[in-house]
Amino acid sequence: MSVELATVPGRRTPLHALGGRLVEISPYVPIASSARVGVSISTYLDRIAFGVTGDRDAASDVDVLARGIAGKPTELVAAATAGSRT
């Protein structure tokens, strides 16, 4: 299993297209060859969104992962920022 992490903050100012304002982003990771579960995180306008994509045949309990993430965003943010505090 390989895990890649990148810290690239999302946009903090609104995006517009065809006269309309983008109000939220839904992150998505496609499933390909050896990857059977993908977790994506995106930020936009100071909000964070998680996306979980899974192959039910290979990971039938991917919904457990999704529920676990959905139930703990405050704890995840606190853990991610704890090391940057002085």
What are the pLDDT digits (tens) for 60-69?
Answer: 898 998 888 8
**Domain span at 64:** 16-82
Is the residue at 42 inside a domain?
Answer: yes
Across the range 8-37, mean pLDDT stands at: 87
Bridge partners, residue 37, by sequence: 54
Q: Into how many domains does the chain fold?
A: 1
CB 39 within 8 A of CB 62: no
DSSP per-residue codes, 53-75: EE-TTT-TTHHHHHHHHHT-HHH
In a domain, 11, yes or no: no
Rounded average pLDDT over 31-40: 84
pLDDT of 7 reads 60
* Through-space distance between the first and last CA atoms of the chain, rounded to whole angstroms: 33
Decide which of 76 and 42 is more confident.
42
In a domain, 4, yes or no: no
Does the pLDDT value for residue 16 go beyond 50? yes
In three-state secondary structure terms, 5 is: coil
What letter would DSSP give residue 76? H
